[in-house]
Amino acid sequence: MNAVILDLDGTLVTTVKVHRMAWELSLKDLGIKISVDLDKLMGRKTEEIAKLLAKDRWKELYERKNTYFDNLVKIYAKPTPCAIDLVNKLKKEKIKTAVVTSSLRRSAIESLKILNFEPDILIAGDDVKKGKPDPEPVLKALSLLGEDPRNVFGVGDTLQDVIAYYNSGIREIYLVKGDLKIDYDEAMRKYNAKVIETLCCIINN
């Protein structure tokens, strides 16, 4: 494999809970009650989630959520198990790296600081029209990396990641177990994803 495309939130940094907290606090502030499971929306673009949850008040929710996240990420986010070891190994082996995240670029940069990691390519939610599970951001990363998807492996922690990788032509896909409620059987059955407990499994592979 010549390159890797990595998800960020929940894959490299423990920000899933931070995103959830930011959404919940923002919804409470605005008095918006939802019947949707937030876990099923994680991995999508911030703007898209805000529109689904708040309809015509989505801009209020969007701005408030981002403000909460910017403050909370500095307090609660940590590297996931073996994340730092993995990025160091990728550098050592000269494997090109792209981080593809549905988070805003400003949020992604704050999260990457936790790892002291600068990928070769960063594609954030505000860099594309369509976010994961649409393959657009992954295809953009593949183009900028100059790599055939058959020579690239993808790592994520949501079904949105897996679908985006698969529909981009990537067939070596790792799905890291995390804080989200996911149908892991579907990921393995439909998309041939390899479900792993932590990133340590990739390092030891």
| Pair of tokens at residue 15 | 């920000």
Per-residue pLDDT for the chain (205 aa), expressed as one digit of tens each? 899 999 999 999 998 888 899 999 999 999 999 988 888 888 888 899 999 999 999 999 999 999 999 899 889 999 999 999 999 999 999 999 999 999 889 889 988 999 999 999 999 999 999 999 999 999 999 999 999 999 999 999 999 999 999 999 999 999 999 877 788 898 999 999 999 999 999 988 6
Every domain of the chain and the residues it spans: 3-14+78-203, 16-76
Q: pLDDT tens-digit profile of 141-158? A: 999 999 999 999 999 999
Q: What superfamily in CATH does domain 3-14+78-203 come from?
A: HAD superfamily/HAD-like (3.40.50.1000)
pTM beyond cutoff 0.95: no
Closest CA to 198 of 79, 107, 118, 94: 79
Q: Are 98 and 121 in contact (CB under 8 A)?
A: yes
